[in-house]
Amino acid sequence: MTTTITADTAKTTPAPDKGFIPLPEKTARALATVGGALTVLSAFLAWTWTSAFPGDLTVYGYPGGLQWLALIGGALTTAFGLASYGVKGFRWLAPSGADAAIKLSALAAFAVIWYTVIAIVVKLGAIVDLEPGAGIAALVSLLAVIGAFALPFERPSLEGPDPDDTGWDKFKHEAGNKWTTVKASFASGPATPARVLPSWAEILLIAAVLGLGLTVFTYGITTPYQELFIGFLITTGFGAAALNKAGLMGRVTTLTARHRNVALVGAFAAAAAFPLTQTDDQYANLGVNILIFATVALGLNIVVGLTGLLDLGYVAFLGVGAYTAALVSGSPNSPFGVQLPFWAALLAGAAASMIFGVLIGAPTLRLRGDYLAIVTLGFGEIFRISMNNLDGVSGPDITNGPNGVANIPNINLFGFDFGAAHTIAGFTIGRFANYFLLMLLITLIVVLVFRRSAESRIGRAWVAIREDETAAEAMGINGFRVKLIAFALGATLAGLAGVVQAHVQYTVTPDQYQFANAVPPNSAFLLAAVVLGGMGTIAGPLVGGSLLFLIPNKLQFLGEYQLLVFGFALIILMRLRPEGLIPNRRNQLELHPEAAAPTVLGKAGV
Amino acid sequence: MTTTTTAPSTAETVLDARGVTMRFGGLTAVRNVDLTVRSGEIVGLIGPNGAGKTTFFNCLTGLYIPTEGEVRYKGTVLPPKSYKVTAAGVARTFQNIRLFNNMTVLENVLVGRHTRTKEGLWSALLRLPGFHREEKASREKAMELLEFIGLDSKAEHLARNLPYGDQRKLEIARALASDPGLILLDEPTAGMNPQETRTTEELIFAIRDKGIAVLVIEHDMRFIFNLCDRVACLVQGEKLVEGTASEVQGDERVVAAYLGEPFEGAPGAEEAAAVEAAEAGAAEAVAAQADAAEAEAEAEAEAEAEAEAEAHSTTSTDGEAK
């Protein structure tokens, strides 16, 4: 039975614009704004009496730990509330309308406060462990949410159910309608045109945004305990959604698109500043691993995002690079017994990866679609198992089998020892910070390679192949050759990252390069980083990769449920935002055709 | 209109297909077809659905390798790979539009330039001096082509957002971007309204005037007979007849297999008269004919509706519900 409407169930007229909670609009708006302000104040109260809960939430007059996050949520709510009143000085906050942003930021404060309260009760064991401050915070944040959800919104026009439907069909229909309504309540309007700023002011703005980005990222990476990290995820998740709905993200995108090189240089300067903000090397270690993972994801984006080749064994190319570097860099386990200088090892790793890329690509790239995925999956596993077997028992002794190539010496570049801490201009840069900066350079190379190749004849050919291979061939593109170039280029970039990885981790073992594993990097996570972040963009895989590395690292209490949670999170995200966190504008148009379609696109649509 | 410029038979032969046969297992889709296209010529290929027209096209463009026979372009045998065929100078469009939907209009045409540009990966990565020069030249050429088909104002639009008629035009521009000596158009006016068909017709003449030979498959007979210097009719994989428009139109076998006998009596004659009037170029006549046709259609629809209402008055709601 189709769901076409019969004559007697006409479209129900859209309900008059009102919120989910029956309150007059003025009251609702005031409640949300004041609730937000009170949430800010409540962050200054003591929430618990003992410092057994991490973060020291016991002090009146000074927020600590999770209270800062609550404060930020409350402040955002208030600011968007004031913007919705049109208060001078706040209007710029919401070029696309403030109501959806109020809802999301109120949710941010609410979620983080209630999470904290529950976490305190669970951790300390009883409700009496709460101070009245916690109750006040919970109450005012609830009020802000009530106010926010009482704000009227434009109701979508819904279709009534088909009277012939069975109960289940009716239920599905009703649920679908409710979902449409909920989505409509978070809709935001088109952005008002931006005020024209002089170019230096725009560049300053970009710098400010990058500074903010660095602060947020550093905060997330250095969260010392997992409650704070979960709070951080909640706040940044809802907060970023609020900024997006308010239209601020769109503004920033326009700005960075206009000053692309400034944004690129600025972003790398900000990233380079990260190890300088650290006093010990612990988080630089995390940082360099994130960079390696994100860079490899960006390399994969050439293969998957631009050319549309599903590669399920990509981590093997990282492994080829790492093993090559390990074997030629003077490890005692290496049968070759040579110690090439770093630049030579880097070239060797990249070249070996490229050769493997061509060897794998040449026979398989004549296949299309699923076949390629299967073959690459097989290659990834073959690589790992071969490395396992080259141990002198099952084969020649080259890789030392499952024990891996160990004791890889640190890089020494022009007398600069990457293994030692250096003090430059008062900043102490430890071992991992050294590698972080080196890896950042490699990331910059990969970003440039991605950008320049994407915006050229070959990049257009890749996209054409992705869009329609037959038509692309009819346009004179040698599909096999172009795909092979993409495949080999992707492999080479992964190889570069692999060389650094070998040195950072001292040891290269086959188990680091699995198809799926609870810890990144592995092929499944790499692919997820690309899809999650946004296919075909530069920032997408970098952000997606950072998140996918950070989350398993910080939430180790999940233990063996990690992959389960990860799977659920991926499903939810793909349901809500199939185009990825940082979408290519083209994908966004493809997946949300109903969204206002500014048909004119800028360069490469990124 | 300049419909009657027949090409001199001494002109250079651009495309020469000899004895092209294409078998899929036991099915012979194209059997022993010969076809030549000379430079400056527009040749039409007609025939009923399933006659093998598109298969024949695919044989010409290297998408299929013909089981027997050979295809020569300007004297050299075409290689059996579609990108090599394009590089050799034979461009094509597709029956069902196959644009690169998520690329802009300009980028679509730039992809068409692929074979005529050389810059490779290194040039792109290192931004060698030649890169910007070639990129600029490609863009200029692409914009020129967009101007030619009248889409220059939409250069930055996504191809998927173009209206249907513009998508067809863009496909032609993309094919032209490879500087072909011969362009194969597979039903370029399918799904177009009469006005759009008209513009396409003019576009094809303009392409011919650029010195590009055209081979076109089409079902719109008025379009084909207006446009083509020669027409070949393919039926069940075999070439039935080849000749000028009037020869083919008058051929009994073509009439029997494809065109069909005109109805005896008033409507056919009226229509023919209207067509003639329209072709004389009188705009009023066109309008009048359209009106008449509309009125006729309306009357017919009404009559039908009434009849149906009478016949199914009891079940009509059910029918609608479905």
Summarize the confidence of residues A372-383 as an average pLDDT. Answer: 89
Question: A479 — contact with chain B (CB < 8 Å)?
Answer: yes
Residues A138 and A117: beta-carbon distance below 8 Å: yes
Question: A489 — contact with chain B (CB < 8 Å)?
Answer: yes
Between B82, B103, B113, which is nearest A474 by CB? B82
Q: Which residue has the higher pLDDT, B12 or A593?
A: B12
Residues A103 and A186: beta-carbon distance below 8 Å: yes
Tokens of A63: 């927020």
Tokens of A293: 């993972």
What's the confidence (pLDDT) of residue A46? Answer: 81
Between A452, A471, A587, which is nearest B94 by CB? A471
CA dist., res. A514 & res. A30, Å (int): 54
Chain B interface, mutation test: which of A457, A458, A465, A587, most B Cβ atoms within 10 Å? A457
Between B98, B124, B174, which is nearest A452 by CB? B124
The yes-or-no verdict on residue A389 having pLDDT over 90 is no
Question: A4 — contact with chain B (CB < 8 Å)?
Answer: yes
Q: What is the ipTM of this complex?
A: 0.79
Q: CB A485 to CB B121 under 8 A?
A: yes
> Chain A: residue nearest B176 by CA?
A475
Q: Which residues of A touch B174 (CB under 8 A)?
A: 475
Chain A interface, mutation test: which of B63, B102, B170, most A Cβ atoms within 10 Å? B102
Tokens of A295: 């860079």
- The secondary structure of residue B52, as a DSSP letter, is S
Query: Half-sphere exposure (CA, 13 Å, Cβ side) for B259?
Result: 21
Question: B36 — contact with chain A (CB < 8 Å)?
Answer: no
Between B104, B107, B121, which is nearest A453 by CB? B121
Beta pairing, strands B76-77 & B68-73: antiparallel
Residues A484 and A493: beta-carbon distance below 8 Å: no
CA dist., res. A167 & res. A173, Å (int): 10
Q: CB A457 to CB B138 under 8 A?
A: yes
Q: CB B83 to CB A4 under 8 A?
A: no
Residues A292 and A497: beta-carbon distance below 8 Å: yes
Question: A1 — contact with chain B (CB < 8 Å)?
Answer: no
Q: Which residue has the higher pLDDT, B299 or A306?
A: A306
Summarize the confidence of residues A386-409 as an average pLDDT. Answer: 82
Q: What digits encode the pLDDT tens for the residues A327-369? A: 888 888 777 878 888 889 999 999 999 999 999 888 888 877 7
Question: B280 — contact with chain A (CB < 8 Å)?
Answer: no
CA dist., res. A431 & res. A504, Å (int): 9
What's the confidence (pLDDT) of residue A445? Answer: 93
Shortest alpha-carbon distance between residue A456 and chain B (Å): 6
Residues A518 and A424: beta-carbon distance below 8 Å: no
Alpha helices in A92-198 (DSSP H): 99-124, 132-149, 167-185
The yes-or-no verdict on residue A602 having pLDDT over 50 is no
Question: B155 — contact with chain A (CB < 8 Å)?
Answer: no
CATH of the domain spanning B1-89+180-261, picked from 3.20.20.70, 3.40.1010.10, 3.40.50.150, 3.40.50.300: 3.40.50.300
Q: What digits encode the pLDDT tens for the residues A177-197? A: 888 888 888 887 777 777 778
Q: CB A599 to CB B114 under 8 A?
A: no
Question: B131 — contact with chain A (CB < 8 Å)?
Answer: yes
User: Can the peptide bond before residue A583 be classed as cis, meaning omega within 30 degrees of 0?
Assistant: no
Question: A476 — contact with chain B (CB < 8 Å)?
Answer: yes
Assign B92 to helix, strand or coil.
strand
The yes-or-no verdict on residue B41 having pLDDT over 80 is yes
Mean of per-residue pLDDT scores for chain B: 81
Total residue count of chain B as it appears in this document = 322
Beta pairing, strands B182-186 & B213-217: parallel
Quickly state the pLDDT bin for B275 (edges 50, 70, 90): low
Tokens of B64: 């299929």
Query: Half-sphere exposure (CA, 13 Å, Cβ side) for A105?
Result: 31
> Chain B: residue nearest A5 by CA?
B321
Question: B152 — contact with chain A (CB < 8 Å)?
Answer: no
The edge-to-edge listing of strands for the beta sheet with B68-73 is: B27-38, B13-24, B68-73, B76-77
Q: CB A475 to CB B117 under 8 A?
A: no
Question: A601 — contact with chain B (CB < 8 Å)?
Answer: yes
CA dist., res. B7 & res. B20, Å (int): 24
Residues A46 and A54: beta-carbon distance below 8 Å: no
The yes-or-no verdict on residue A606 having pLDDT over 50 is no
The edge-to-edge listing of strands for the beta sheet with B182-186 is: B90-92, B182-186, B213-217, B42-46, B230-235, B238-243
Question: Please, which residues have CB within 8 angstroms of residue A22's CB and are 6 or more apart in sequence?
Answer: A150
Of chain B, the end-to-end C-alpha distance in Å amounts to 49
Domains and CATH numbers, chain A: 25-155+214-250 (no CATH), 259-545 (1.10.3470)
Shortest alpha-carbon distance between residue B155 and chain A (Å): 9
Q: CB A467 to CB B103 under 8 A?
A: yes
